[in-house]
């Protein structure tokens, strides 16, 4: 049951759902014509199918291991990584100035999805490297850019993000790592970092750590944090690898999933580092990485959903139990749920990608606000979809789903982390109702206006689909109004997770409706839209009741009563 890259779905969504032509219409992305993006999608799909898919199980069965301080990666990973690098895929959206393709983020999303759908554990290495490239492009000095960007873009070197410490997870500002000036423009970085994805490997080249640490005069909390480039090997002036820096991997974590991805505890003992951006402005630089990483993680959810769907579909076509099980109503319900939600999540991450691309191309505030609004929804809704779809994939397999050899469980174990890292889905929801609604809801209302305007047009052709989408949007609008009316943030936070899910559900309805309209209300996509609107969209009602429940009941029960 080989993986088939969803190239056709990308083409369709680009053309009919997220208006990729708008992106190609800008000067910045004038190259991204349909011919160009088609060709790239096809090549990318081939790479995922032929290079990554074959190593998907390897990493699960043979985890990365730490041997004498060196990380040995899973069989075939090094070759697959080199192959991705040689294809030039590692920095689809990085600037051409340093060797990137300079393509829209939307194309990078295609890369991230197909990589996650075929080998998510390995795919984390380029994902983290992408984030580092972006942070350096925006914040690093020219010297650092010249040294690091070409090598990260080519895949000669890879990058990591070092934020978390044992006492500083969601609360990054609590971190204790320190940096002291060496007097020569460099710094000595010390501290322990945990959960460092791809903190080391045996692919060759350098491993470049971006590390958050506090300078001696840094105030407590997030405002006293600076960002440093701390490479595993100190590069010589010509970029060749010099001496080993004072840092190392202490241990690897034993995880539920993504076994092939080495999750490292890193120790920095006065390691030599270079400041990235300004002193005490590390969080701003880190947010550059994090925002796109959040979109990237949401995209992993889509990738796993697609992989799990194809895998379950293949089983359902073969398995005979009172006839082939694909013909049983409840199995079809599961498969259609998987397919309909995967489409919704894919359209969502692409809508967010296009908003980012339009921000980059036009620098318009409206585009930025839309991108900022869609980012936490993309991250949380799409990873929730990934988890739910992978779970359904296990269920479609029946007893075989619980047996590791079938691979259904691996999707489910691998994708589980996506609801946690890069800010838990709870943090995303708090971001959505907090920071992303500091505009009084303007960005949200603009999006809802757009959805309703489309539904009003669609009503003439597909009233039975357009009307429920319009109604759901209107109910969501009331919930947004309720949210922005709460001056006490805790009132918003008390229902932010179901609120975000409902927002995703409504957006999904909008994308399905657009898809159905694009084929004139007749065809496969219309049938899928009907399934989604009749069966999945109605969840919005219960979710939005929950969203508006307020915080009183959460604190009415005391901690002692929780323990009773």
- The answer to whether residue 395 forms part of the interface with a copy of itself (CB under 8 A) is yes
Q: Compute the CA torsion angle 327, 333, 336, 341 (nearest 10 deg).
A: -160
Give the residue carrying structure tokens 């799409």: 382
Cβ(515)–Cβ(529) below 8 Å: yes
Among 335, 443, 507, 517, the residue binding a copy of itself under the rule CB under 8 A is 335
Nearest alpha carbon to residue 306 among 381, 366, 382, 370: 382
Q: Which stretch binds a copy of itself (CB under 8 A): 43-51, 93-101, 103-111, 250-258?
A: 250-258
Instruction: DSSP for 150-203, please give it.
Output: HHHHHTSSEEEEE--BTTBSS-GGG---EEEE-SSS-EEEEEEEEEEET---SS
Nearest approach, Cβ of residue 128 and a copy of itself (Å): 15
Give the residue carrying structure tokens 């903190």: 199
User: Which residues 148-167 are close enough to bind a copy of itself by CB under 8 A?
Assistant: 164, 167
Q: Which is nearer to a copy of itself, 117 or 273 (CB)?
A: 117
Query: What span, in angstroms and rounded, lies between the C-alpha atoms of 332 and 325?
Result: 8
Q: Which stretch binds a copy of itself (CB under 8 A): 91-99, 120-128, 343-351, 391-399?
A: 391-399
Q: Which is nearer to a copy of itself, 236 or 324 (CB)?
A: 324
- The answer to whether residue 47 forms part of the interface with a copy of itself (CB under 8 A) is no
Nearest alpha carbon to residue 267 among 244, 253, 246, 248: 248
Q: Which is nearer to a copy of itself, 207 or 338 (CB)?
A: 338
Q: Which stretch binds a copy of itself (CB under 8 A): 14-22, 35-43, 280-288, 395-403?
A: 395-403
Cβ(299)–Cβ(105) below 8 Å: no
- The answer to whether residue 346 forms part of the interface with a copy of itself (CB under 8 A) is no
- The answer to whether residue 283 forms part of the interface with a copy of itself (CB under 8 A) is no
Q: Which is nearer to a copy of itself, 176 or 244 (CB)?
A: 176
Nearest approach, Cβ of residue 297 and a copy of itself (Å): 13
User: Which residues 462-501 are close enough to bind a copy of itself by CB under 8 A?
Assistant: 490, 493-498
Phi, psi angle pair for 190, to nearest 5° = -135, 145
Nearest approach, Cβ of residue 311 and a copy of itself (Å): 13
- The answer to whether residue 333 forms part of the interface with a copy of itself (CB under 8 A) is yes
- The answer to whether residue 536 forms part of the interface with a copy of itself (CB under 8 A) is yes
Site size with a copy of itself, rule: CB under 8 A: 91
Q: Which is nearer to a copy of itself, 273 or 509 (CB)?
A: 509
**Per-residue b or e along 541-557, where b marks 16 or more CB atoms closer than 10 Å to that residue's CB:** eebbeebbeebeeeeee
Terminal Cα-to-Cα distance of the chain (whole angstroms): 50
- The answer to whether residue 11 forms part of the interface with a copy of itself (CB under 8 A) is no
Nearest approach, Cβ of residue 82 and a copy of itself (Å): 28
- The answer to whether residue 175 forms part of the interface with a copy of itself (CB under 8 A) is no
Cβ(192)–Cβ(265) below 8 Å: yes
Query: What span, in angstroms and rounded, lies between the C-alpha atoms of 56 and 59?
Result: 6
Parallel, antiparallel, or unpaired for β 187-197 and 158-162? unpaired
Query: What span, in angstroms and rounded, lies between the C-alpha atoms of 474 and 525?
Result: 24
Nearest alpha carbon to residue 7 among 33, 40, 32, 29: 40
Among 13, 47, 55, 331, the residue binding a copy of itself under the rule CB under 8 A is 331
- The answer to whether residue 192 forms part of the interface with a copy of itself (CB under 8 A) is no
Q: Which stretch binds a copy of itself (CB under 8 A): 89-97, 141-149, 233-241, 422-430?
A: 422-430
- The answer to whether residue 429 forms part of the interface with a copy of itself (CB under 8 A) is yes
User: Which residues 500-529 are close enough to bind a copy of itself by CB under 8 A?
Assistant: 524, 527-528
Q: Which stretch binds a copy of itself (CB under 8 A): 112-120, 140-148, 343-351, 539-547?
A: 539-547
- Kindly list the catalytic residues: 422
């Amino acid at each position: 049951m080989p993986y088939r890259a969803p190239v056709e779905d990308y083409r369709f969504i680009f053309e009919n759902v997220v208006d990729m032509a708008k992106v190609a219409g800008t000067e910045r992305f004038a190259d991204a014509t349909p011919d160009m993006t088609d060709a790239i999608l096809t090549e990318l799909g081939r790479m995922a199918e032929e290079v990554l898919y074959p190593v998907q199980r390897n990493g699960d069965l043979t985890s990365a291991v730490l041997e004498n301080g060196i990380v040995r990666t899973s069989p075939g990973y090094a070759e697959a990584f080199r192959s991705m690098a040689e294809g030039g895929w590692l920095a689809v959206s990085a600037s051409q100035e340093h060797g990137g393709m300079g393509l829209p983020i939307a194309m990078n999303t295609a890369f991230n999805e197909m990589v996650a759908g075929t080998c998510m554990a390995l795919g984390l290495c380029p994902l983290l490297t992408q984030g580092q490239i972006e942070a350096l492009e925006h914040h690093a000095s020219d010297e650092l850019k010249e040294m690091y960007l070409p090598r990260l873009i080519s895949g000669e070197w890879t990058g990591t993000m070092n934020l978390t410490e044992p006492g500083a997870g969601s609360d990054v500002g609590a971190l204790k790592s320190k940096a002291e000036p060496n007097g020569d423009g460099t710094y000595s970085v010390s501290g322990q970092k945990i959960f460092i994805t791809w903190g080391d490997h045996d692919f060759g080249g350098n491993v470049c750590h971006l590390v958050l640490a506090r300078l001696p005069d840094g105030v407590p909390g997030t405002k006293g944090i600076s960002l440093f480039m701390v490479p595993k090997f100190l590069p010589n002036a010509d970029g060749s690898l010099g001496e080993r820096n004072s840092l190392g991997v202490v241990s690897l974590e034993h995880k539920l999933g993504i076994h092939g991805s080495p999750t490292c505890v890193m120790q920095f003992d006065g390691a030599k580092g270079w400041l990235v951006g300004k002193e005490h402005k590390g969080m701003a630089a880190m947010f550059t990485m994090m925002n796109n990483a959040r979109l990237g993680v949401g995209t992993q959810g889509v990738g796993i959903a697609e992989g799990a769907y194809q895998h379950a579909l293949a089983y359902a076509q073969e398995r005979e139990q009172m006839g082939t099980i694909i013909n049983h109503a409840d199995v079809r319900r599961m498969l259609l749920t998987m397919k309909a939600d995967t489409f919704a999540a894919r359209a969502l991450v692409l809508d967010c990608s296009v908003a980012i691309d339009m921000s980059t191309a036009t620098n318009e505030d409206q585009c930025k606000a839309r991108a900022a609004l869609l980012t936490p929804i993309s991250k949380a809704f799409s990873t929730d979809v990934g988890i739910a779809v992978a779970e359904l994939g296990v269920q479609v397999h029946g007893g075989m789903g619980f047996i590791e050899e079938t691979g259904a469980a691996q999707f489910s174990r691998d994708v589980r982390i996506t609801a946690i890292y890069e800010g838990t889905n709870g943090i995303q929801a708090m971001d959505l109702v907090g920071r992303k609604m500091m505009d009084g809801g303007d960005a949200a209302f603009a999006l809802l206006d757009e959805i309703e305007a489309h539904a009003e047009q669609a009503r003439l052709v597909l009233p039975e689909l357009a009307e429920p989408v319009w109604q759901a949007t209107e109910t969501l609008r009331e919930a947004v109004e309720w949210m922005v009316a709460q001056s006490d943030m805790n009132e918003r936070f008390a229902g932010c997770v179901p609120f975000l899910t409902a927002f995703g559900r409504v957006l999904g309805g909008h994308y399905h409706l657009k898809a159905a309209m694009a084929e004139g209300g007749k065809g496969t996509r219309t049938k899928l839209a009907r399934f989604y609107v009749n069966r999945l969209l109605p969840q919005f009602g219960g979710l939005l009741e929950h969203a508006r429940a307020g915080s009183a009941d959460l604190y009415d029960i005391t901690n002692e009563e929780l323990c009773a």
